[in-house]
Amino acid sequence: MDYRSNVTYITFGGHVEVHKYRYLYFVVMFTVYILIISSNLTIVCIIMIHKNLHEPMYIFIAALLINSVLLSTAIYPKLLIDFLSEKQIISYPACLFQWFLYYWLGSSDFFLLSVMAYDRYVSICNPLQYPTIMQEKKVNIFLISAWILPACQTSGAMLLSAKKEICTFNLKGILCNSTVQTLHCVRSRIQNIYGLIVLVTTVVLPVLFILFTYGRILVVSYRCRGVRGRAAQTCLPHLLVLINFSCLTAYDVLLPRLELDSPEIVRLIMTLQVLIYHPLFNPIIYGLKMRRIYDHLKKLFCRMV
């Protein structure tokens, strides 16, 4: 059946008793969305306003938090509309676009975390060369690359999916993520190979690079007592964010491939964790663990009180 001439909409089948708890779902998720926007943008504004935070490390943190806002905005408005709608549906082109935004911005997070790890490596292991290596031009190149490279790779996967014929029009989920592949009549080998390449280049290699750089930092910190406190203060937040995001990504990537027949409530809870934890986790970690940001936040709240 050709969806373009017969069926144009995909039904989200992952909602649990949405007609019964629609207003509760809406209020909770709307509150979470407002918290995500306000908490992330607050720290971004603090970094932009205060000149002592105009350093590569804090610029990368601001980029990561902006990424969280963009990712949430790609998901939450549609999700909130679905909670109040009689039918939870989306057109297939719109579904592919949401899928593209979801994985483009998610992949950008790994690239940004890699750049942040490199920045910490240079700062701690080669402090004298740090101003020369991390110049403004190079920082801008890193930021642009962290968004453009994942966009190019993810767009290729989206175009391959767009050419595939779909035979199923019910999606076992509440958003268009990797489960979109289950809609296709036949899974092509080319698409699987390309997806594996994208997974390796956007997730596996960045994670290995991050672990390698922090391993080197750990060795230097062990040898030089003077940098231990500095390394722990600046590297621990990045590692916590990496661990949290890697665990959520692993679940999202493995879910459609394992094809586990898990209960709907379990799928819903796990998906909501992906949508809630990471965007809220980042500003909390960086706001509390990064000393300079924490000091500015404390001053801001004191003025408000």
pLDDT tens track for 132-166: 889 889 999 999 999 999 999 899 888 888 888 88
The closest of 239, 179, 184, 234 to 207, measured between CA atoms, is: 239
Give ∠ CA 150-156-161 in degrees, rounded to 5. 125
Dihedral angle over CA of 98, 199, 245, 133, nearest 10: -110
Query: 260 or 148: whose pLDDT is higher?
Result: 148
Specify the pLDDT at position 124: 83
| Residue 2, pLDDT above cutoff 70 | no
* pLDDT digit string, tens, across residues 186-239: 777 888 788 888 888 888 898 899 888 888 887 777 776 655 555 656 677 777
Contact 117, 218 (CB under 8 A): no
Whether residue 194 contacts residue 156, with contact meaning beta carbons closer than 8 Å, is answered with yes
Between 24 and 189, the higher pLDDT residue: 24
High-pLDDT (> 70) share of the chain, %: 89
Q: Pick the closest to residue 173 from 85, 96, 272 (CA basis).
A: 272
Alpha-carbon gap, residue 40 to 278, rounded angstroms: 11
Alpha-carbon span 75 to 68, nearest angstrom: 11
Domains in the chain and their CATH numbers?
19-304 (1.20.1070.10)
For residue 173, what pLDDT band results from cuts at 50, 70 and 90?
Answer: confident
Sign (positive or negative) of CA dihedral 5, 8, 10, 11:
negative
Please tell me whether the overall predicted TM-score, pTM, comes out greater than 0.85 for this model.
yes
